[in-house]
C-alpha cells in the first residue's frame, strides 16, 4: 500500500514540474530529435498480458524493486502463461511449485511454441527427471544440431584446419546461455522465475527480447536438485494445506547424499546432478553457465574477491567482471538498490557446479539474490553499508516478497543475456581463443604434462584416477616405450596427461598443487584438492617438453585395467595371492565374494621375486570351492587385480579377512557430510544398514545386529550429538505422509527430536566391550573421546592453527596395524581445521601455551597460486619464463649474490601410548602441507590422524582426517575398509 502512494506522489511531482514549464516552440530539429528519441520505444511496442501484469504489480512491494524488463508480461495468442497452466504467476505469495508443476508448464510451453524444446537430461538418484528447455527463434531451434556442431569445433581447435574456417565458424555461431536453478533446495525463486523467463523470451516482441532470441540460444534447467526441491516444497506447503501440521522447518535431506554440498562436486563428480550437467555441457558446449542462488541481499553477481583460481585463462576472469558489471551498471542506472559484485565469494576453488563451464573454457557464473524461501512476504533486514563494490547498497529494512526476488533475478539475467547476444562474436571469439590457448599451454606457460609412472604401486587406484580425468573430458595417453625427461625415466606403460589438449587447464588444476596464502581474504571453501595424493597415486609434473614427443597412444574409451590369474611358482596351485595395494576395488571384491575364504597376511612377504604387502589376500585352494581359479579369473578382470597362483603356501602369519555386518549411523541434526561417506560405500558396493542415533539409543543389543558401526562426520561436539534436537514442543516427524509425500526416503522417524543420549553412549560402550568396532570420523570422534572410550586421547584446542580444507601429509606410525595394510609410508589426507588429537598430560609432544610463536615454514612466503609451498606460480595465458633471460643477465652483471637462510625446528618424539596411533600428521611442519594453506602448523604437526583404542573386546578407531570427502579422497577409503574387514584382529602386529 505504502509503495502505491509513493509511486503516485512521485508521479504527481513530476507532472507539476512538467506543467510549470513554458510551452516549447517545436522546431523541425525538435521534431527530428523527438522522433529519434521515441523511435526505439515505438519499435518496442508489444501486446501486454493485462491480467498477469496486474498481478506482477500487485505482488511487487516497491516500485524500485522491479525494472522495465519484467514489470509486465507480453501477451501471446497461442502460448499459455503460468497463470493459464498453473493458476498463479511466478512469485505469487505463498506458492512454491513442485517439480511436476514446473515441468507441466515447461512442457505446455514447448508444445505451444516452435521456439521452445524440452528434453530430459537424466535421472536423479531418487529417480526424478532432470530437464533442459531450449529457447531461440524457430529457425535456430530447427537447426540446433548445426549450432552444437559449431560449438564443438570451436571447443577443439585441433579439428579446425584453417584460421579462416575458425573466423567463419565464429561468425555463424550463436552463443548458448545456460541458466540453471534450484541447486539449493531452500532457495526457491529460480524455478518460478525460469518458467516466466522461458515464456518471455519465446513470445516477447520488444527489441530487447528479440536481440536475445535471434542472436543466441537460451538453455534453461529450472531445477537442478529435483529430489531436494520436492522435499522442500513438501515442508513449505504443508502448513498452508493443514495449519495443524507439524513438519521440520527445513529439509535435513535434499538429494540422496548431500544438501548444500551438491555444489561442491565438480572435482569428484560423484552426484548424478554433476554428471548430467557435465554430459549436457559436452553435448552443447554452452558459452555461459549461470547458476541461480539466493543467500544474500539483494542481487550479488559473481566475480569474487580473489585469490582467483590460478589455472584458468585470465580471459575468463575478465569475462566474469565484464558480465557482472553489466548487471550492476544497468540495474543501478534503473534505480534498483542492492545490486553489487566483488565481495562474498573468492573465486579460488573449482568444485562448484559452474566449473563444468569454467574448467572447459566456457564461462561459469552465479547470482545470490534475496530469497523469499517459503514464498512468504516478510520484513528483510540488511547492512546498509556502502563500499566501493556496493555503492548503492540494500536498504536497512524492507518488506520483501517472492515476486521481488523474481524481479531481481530475471532483470539481471536478461541484462546479461542481452549483453551476450549483442557481443556474440566477441564472446565466441574468446571461447575459441581460450580453447586454442589451452592447447598451446604445454609449450607456452607449461607444464608439458603429468605422468603417472607405469610401475606405480597401485595400478587399480591409478586406473580409477585416470577414469576421473577422462570423465572431465581430459585425454590420457599410454607410453609405448620407456622415455626420459629432465624429471626422470618413465617405464613403458606410463600414463601421460598431455597438456596440449583443449581441457589441459582442467587437468592442470586437478593434478597440480595449490598454495593459498592465509593472509588472503577468507576462503569461501576448500583451498587445496590435489587429486594424486588424495587418490594415493603418484603423479609427476613434467615441465620438460621432451615428454610430448615420447611415443604414446591415446587411451580409447574408458580406462580399464586387465586382470585375472597368473602363475607365479610352478606346480599345482595350493593358494592364490592378491597383493594388497589399498585399491578400493579389492574391498568391493571382498564384499561381493563373501563366500570365499580369504586370509590376510600379517606381514609383508615374497614369493620368488614378487613382493607382497602386509595385508595381502591369501586364498587357499583347500579352503575354497573347486571353481576358485575360475572365480578369480573373472573377478580379477572385473575388479582389476591379479591373483598369483603358488604351489606352496607362503609361511606368513595370517588371520581371516572378515565380511562384517556394518551400520552407518547418522544424527537428525545434519546429514550432509556423512552423505559423502555413504556415497563412498555405495560406489565401492560395501553393504550397510543406515541407522540413526535414535536407533542406537533404543537398542541395547547392538552387538547382535552389527559388527561395525561407522559414525560419519556430524555437527557440533559430543554434547550436542548426545543431546540432539531439543525435546520441546510437538514431535517432529520425518516421514512420508499425504502432506509430505517426498520425504522419509533415506531414513524416517516419527520424531526427530532427542539425540544419542546417555542410553546411546552406554549401548555403544557395551557394543565395544562385546567385540564391536566403532569408527568415528572428524568431529564425531568427540563422542568416544569425551566419554572416555579412548584412554588418554583428547581434542586439543588450537590457538593459531589455520588449516582450512586442504591436503596434508600424514605418515604411518604403525605399519603393522591392519588399518595400514596396503599403504606406503605416507598418505595425502583431507583435513579441515579440527579436530586435532593429542594425548593428555605427560606426553611431552604438545607443549601448548606458546601462541605467539611463529611457525617456521608455515607462512606467508609466497602469494596464492599453483604449486606447493616451495614452488612458483605460473601465470596462465602467456609464455613461460618471459623476461627471465634478461633479468639473469642483468643480475650477473651486477654480480649480486643470493643468500639464503634456513631455520630449523626440532620435534620431540612422543613416547608410545596405549591407544595405537596408526597414522599421524607429518612431524616436520615444512612437509606438512601438500596443497592448500597452513599457518600455526606446529599445532598440527605430529598429531595423531588415526587412532585405534581397545575397549573391552572391541575397538574404537577415530579419524581426525576425513577419509570420505566429496568423492575426492579415494586414497584414504581403505583405512576404513581395512579396519572393518580386520575388525576381529585389529591387535595384529601390536608391539607391546
Name the site residues for Zn ion (rule: CB under 5 A).
184, 187, 293
From the CB of 90, what's the least distance to Zn ion, in Å? Answer: 19
| Residue closer to Zn ion, measured from CB, 184 or 360 | 184
Q: What is d(CA 69, CA 413) in angstroms, rounded to the nearest whole number?
A: 10
From the CB of 260, what's the least distance to Zn ion, in Å? Answer: 7
Select from 128, 127, 149, 79 the least CA-distant residue to 107. Answer: 79
The DSSP string of 712-770 is: ---SS-HHHHHH-B---SS---BS--SS-TT-SSS--BS---B-SHHHHHHHHHHHHHT
How many CB atoms neighbour CB 486 within 10 A? Answer: 10
Sequence-separated (6 or more) residues with CB below 8 Å from residue 773? 660, 707, 708, 709, 954, 955, 956, 957, 979, 980, 983, 986
| Residue closer to Zn ion, measured from CB, 264 or 796 | 264
| Residue closer to Zn ion, measured from CB, 375 or 971 | 375
| Residue closer to Zn ion, measured from CB, 187 or 695 | 187
- b or e along 619-657 (b: 16 or more beta carbons within 10 Å of the residue's beta carbon)? bbbeebeeebbebbeebbeebbbbbbbbeeebebebeeb
| Residue 366, H or E segment | strand 363-369
Q: Are 960 and 835 in contact (CB under 8 A)?
A: yes
| Residue closer to Zn ion, measured from CB, 368 or 508 | 368
3-state secondary structure of 363: strand
Q: Are 599 and 608 in contact (CB under 8 A)?
A: no
From the CB of 295, what's the least distance to Zn ion, in Å? Answer: 5
From the CB of 180, what's the least distance to Zn ion, in Å? Answer: 11
| Residue closer to Zn ion, measured from CB, 189 or 680 | 189
Q: Phi, psi at residue 773, to the nearest 5°?
A: -115, 125
| Residue closer to Zn ion, measured from CB, 364 or 502 | 364
| Residue closer to Zn ion, measured from CB, 130 or 646 | 130
From the CB of 670, what's the least distance to Zn ion, in Å? Answer: 17
From the CB of 341, what's the least distance to Zn ion, in Å? Answer: 17
From the CB of 930, what's the least distance to Zn ion, in Å? Answer: 29
Q: Are 176 and 151 in contact (CB under 8 A)?
A: yes
C-alpha cell belonging to residue 192: 518460478
Q: What is d(CA 534, CA 827) in angstroms, rounded to the nearest whole number?
A: 8
Q: What is d(CA 533, CA 351) in angstroms, rounded to the nearest whole number?
A: 17
| Residue closer to Zn ion, measured from CB, 76 or 263 | 263
Q: Are 56 and 71 in contact (CB under 8 A)?
A: yes
Q: Phi, psi at residue 734, to the nearest 5°?
A: -125, 90
| Residue closer to Zn ion, measured from CB, 293 or 697 | 293
| Residue closer to Zn ion, measured from CB, 260 or 471 | 260
**944-951 and 916-921: which strand pairing?**
antiparallel
Q: What is d(CA 224, CA 992) in angstroms, rounded to the nearest whole number?
A: 55
Is residue 316 classed exposed, middle or buried when 0-12, 13-18 and 19+ CB atoms within 10 A define those classes?
buried
| Residue closer to Zn ion, measured from CB, 412 or 932 | 412
Q: What is d(CA 256, CA 273) in angstroms, rounded to the nearest whole number?
A: 11
From the CB of 184, what's the least distance to Zn ion, in Å? Answer: 3
| Residue closer to Zn ion, measured from CB, 174 or 293 | 293
Q: Are 531 and 510 in contact (CB under 8 A)?
A: yes
From the CB of 187, what's the least distance to Zn ion, in Å? Answer: 5
From the CB of 299, what's the least distance to Zn ion, in Å? Answer: 14
Q: What is d(CA 660, CA 688) in angstroms, rounded to the nearest whole number?
A: 9
From the CB of 188, what's the least distance to Zn ion, in Å? Answer: 11
From the CB of 371, what's the least distance to Zn ion, in Å? Answer: 9
Select from 372, 353, 377, 367 the least CA-distant residue to 411. Answer: 367
Question: H helices of 66-116, where?
Answer: 82-85, 99-112
From the CB of 293, what's the least distance to Zn ion, in Å? Answer: 3
Amino acid at each position: 500500500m505504502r509503495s502505491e502512494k509513493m509511486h503516485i506522489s512521485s508521479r504527481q511531482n513530476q507532472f507539476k514540474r512538467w506543467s510549470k514549464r513554458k510551452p516549447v516552440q517545436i522546431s523541425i530539429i525538435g521534431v527530428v530529435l523527438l522522433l529519434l528519441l521515441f523511435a526505439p520505444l515505438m519499435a518496442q511496442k508489444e501486446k501486454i498480458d493485462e491480467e498477469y501484469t496486474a498481478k506482477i504489480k500487485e505482488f511487487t512491494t516497491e516500485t524500485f524493486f522491479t525494472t522495465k524488463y519484467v514489470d509486465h508480461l507480453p501477451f501471446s495468442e497461442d502460448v499459455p502463461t503460468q497463470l493459464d497452466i498453473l493458476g498463479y504467476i511466478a512469485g505469487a505469495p505463498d506458492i512454491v511449485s513442485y517439480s511436476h508443476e514446473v515441468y507441466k508448464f515447461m512442457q505446455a510451453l514447448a508444445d505451444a511454441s516452435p521456439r521452445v524444446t524440452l528434453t530430459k537430461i537424466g535421472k536423479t538418484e531418487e529417480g526424478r527427471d532432470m530437464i533442459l528447455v531450449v529457447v531461440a527463434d524457430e529457425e535456430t531451434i530447427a537447426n540446433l544440431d548445426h549450432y552444437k556442431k559449431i560449438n564443438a569445433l570451436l571447443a577443439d581447435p585441433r579439428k579446425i584446419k584453417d584460421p579462416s574456417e575458425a573466423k567463419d565458424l565464429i561468425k555463424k555461431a550463436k552463443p548458448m546461455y545456460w541458466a540453471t536453478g534450484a541447486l539449493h533446495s531452500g532457495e526457491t525463486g529460480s524455478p518460478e522465475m525460469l518458467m516466466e523467463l522461458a515464456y518471455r523470451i519465446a513470445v516477447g516482441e520488444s527489441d530487447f527480447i528479440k536481440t536475445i532470441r535471434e542472436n543466441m540460444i537460451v538453455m534453461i534447467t529450472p531445477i537442478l536438485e529435483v529430489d531436494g526441491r520436492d522435499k522442500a516444497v513438501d515442508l513449505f506447503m504443508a502448513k498452508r494445506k493443514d495449519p495443524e501440521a507439524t513438519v521440520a522447518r527445513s529439509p535435513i535431506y535434499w538429494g540422496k547424499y548431500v544438501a548444500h554440498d551438491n555444489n561442491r562436486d565438480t572435482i569428484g563428480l560423484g552426484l548424478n546432478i554433476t554428471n548430467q550437467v557435465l554430459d549436457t555441457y559436452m553435448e552443447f558446449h554452452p558459452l555461459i553457465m549461470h547458476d541461480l542462488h539466493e543467500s544474500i541481499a539483494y542481487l550479488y553477481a559473481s566475480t569474487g574477491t580473489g585469490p582467483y583460481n590460478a589455472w584458468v585463462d585470465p580471459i575468463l576472469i575478465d569475462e566474469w567482471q565484464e558480465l557482472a558489471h553489466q548487471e550492476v551498471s544497468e540495474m543501478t542506472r534503473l534505480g534498483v538498490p542492492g545490486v553489487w559484485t566483488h565481495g562474498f565469494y573468492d573465486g579460488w576453488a573449482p568444485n562448484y557446479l559452474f566449473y563444468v563451464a569454467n574448467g572447459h573454457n566456457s564461462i561459469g557464473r552465479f547470482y545470490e539474490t534475496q530469497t523469499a524461501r517459503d514464498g512468504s512476504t516478510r520484513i528483510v533486514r540488511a547492512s546498509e553499508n556502502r563500499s566501493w563494490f556496493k555503492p548503492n547498497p540494500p536498504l536497512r529494512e524492507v518488506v520483501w516478497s517472492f515476486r521481488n526476488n523474481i524481479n531481481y533475478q530475471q532483470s539481471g539475467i536478461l541484462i546479461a543475456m542481452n549483453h551476450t547476444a549483442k557481443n556474440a562474436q566477441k564472446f565466441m571469439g574468446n571461447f575459441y581463443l581460450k580453447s586454442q590457448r589451452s592447447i598451446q599451454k604445454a609449450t607456452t606457460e607449461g607444464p608439458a604434462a603429468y605422468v603417472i609412472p607405469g610401475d606405480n604401486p597401485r595400478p587399480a587406484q591409478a586406473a580409477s584416477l585416470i577414469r576421473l580425468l577422462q570423465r572431465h573430458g581430459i585425454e590420457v595417453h599410454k607410453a609405448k616405450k620407456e622415455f626420459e625427461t629432465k624429471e626422470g625415466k618413465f617405464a613403458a606403460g606410463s600414463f601421460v596427461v598431455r597438456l596440449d589438449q583443449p581441457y589441459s587447464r582442467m587437468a592442470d588444476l586437478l593434478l597440480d598443487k595449490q598454495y593459498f596464502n592465509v593472509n588472503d581474504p577468507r576462503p569461501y571453501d576448500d583451498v587445496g584438492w590435489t587429486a594424486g595424493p588424495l587418490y594415493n597415486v603418484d603423479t609427476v609434473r613434467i615441465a620438460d617438453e621432451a615428454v610430448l614427443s615420447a611415443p604414446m597412444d591415446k587411451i580409447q574409451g574408458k580406462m580399464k585395467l586387465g586382470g585375472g590369474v597368473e602363475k607365479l611358482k610352478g606346480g599345482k596351485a595350493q593358494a592364490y595371492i592378491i597383493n594388497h595395494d589399498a585399491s578400493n576395488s579389492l574391498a568391493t571384491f571382498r564384499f561381493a565374494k563373501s563366500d570365499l575364504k580369504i586370509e590376510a597376511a600379517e606381514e609383508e612377504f615374497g614369493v620368488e621375486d614378487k613382493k607382497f604387502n602386509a595385508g595381502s589376500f591369501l586364498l587357499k585352494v583347500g579352503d575354497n570351492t573347486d571353481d576358485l581359479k575360475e572365480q578369480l579369473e573373472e573377478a580379477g578382470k572385473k575388479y582389476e587385480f591379479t591373483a598369483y597362483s603358488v604351489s606352496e603356501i607362503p609361511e606368513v602369519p595370517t588371520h581371516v579377512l572378515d565380511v562384517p555386518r556394518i551400520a552407518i549411523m547418522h544424527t537428525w541434526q545434519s546429514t550432509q557430510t556423512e552423505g559423502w561417506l555413504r556415497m563412498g560405500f555405495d560406489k565401492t558396493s560395501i553393504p550397510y544398514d543406515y541407522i540413526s542415533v535414535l536407533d542406537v539409543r533404543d537398542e541395547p543389543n547392538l552387538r547382535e545386529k552389527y559388527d561395525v558401526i561407522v559414525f560419519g562426520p556430524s555437527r557440533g561436539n559430543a554434547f550436542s550429538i548426545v543431546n540432539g534436537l531439543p525435546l520441546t514442543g510437538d514431535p517432529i516427524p520425518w516421514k512420508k505422509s499425504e502432506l509430505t509425500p517426498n520425504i522419509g526416503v533415506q531414513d524416517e522417524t516419527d520424531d526427530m527430536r532427542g539425540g544419542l543420549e546417555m542410553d546411546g553412549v552406554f549401548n555403544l560402550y557395551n557394543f565395544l566391550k562385546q567385540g564391536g568396532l566403532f569408527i568415528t570420523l572428524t568431529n564425531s570422534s568427540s563422542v568416544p573421546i569425551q566419554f572416555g572410550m579412548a584412554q588418554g586421547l583428547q581434542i586439543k584446542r588450537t590457538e593459531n592453527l589455520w588449516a582450512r580444507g586442504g591436503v596434508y601429509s600424514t605418515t604411518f606410525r604403525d605399519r603393522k596395524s591392519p588399518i595400514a595394510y596396503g599403504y606406503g609410508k605416507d598418505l595425502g589426507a583431507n583435513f579441515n581445521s579440527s579436530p586435532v588429537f593429542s594425548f593428555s598430560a605427560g606426553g611431552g609432544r604438545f607443549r601448548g601455551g606458546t601462541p605467539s610463536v611463529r611457525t617456521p615454514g608455515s607462512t606467508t612466503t609466497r602469494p596464492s597460486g599453483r604449486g606447493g609451498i616451495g614452488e612458483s606460480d605460473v601465470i596462465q595465458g602467456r609464455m613461460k619464463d618471459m623476461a627471465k633471460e634478461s633479468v639473469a643477465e642483468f643480475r650477473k652483471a651486477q654480480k649480486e649474490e643470493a643468500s639464503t637462510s634456513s631455520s630449523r625446528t626440532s620435534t620431540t618424539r612422543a613416547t608410545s601410548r596405549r591407544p595405537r596411533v596408526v597414522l599421524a600428521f607429518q612431524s616436520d611442519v615444512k612437509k606438512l602441507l601438500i596443497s592448500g594453506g597452513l599457518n600455526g602448523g606446529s599445532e598440527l604437526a605430529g598429531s595423531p590422524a588415526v587412532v585405534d583404542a581397545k575397549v573391552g573386546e572391541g575397538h574404537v578407531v577415530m579419524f581426525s582426517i576425513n577419509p570420505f570427502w566429496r568423492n575426492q579422497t579415494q586414497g584414504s577409503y581403505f583405512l576404513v575398509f581395512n579396519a572393518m574387514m580386520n575388525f576381529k584382529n585389529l591387535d595384529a602386529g601390536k608391539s607391546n
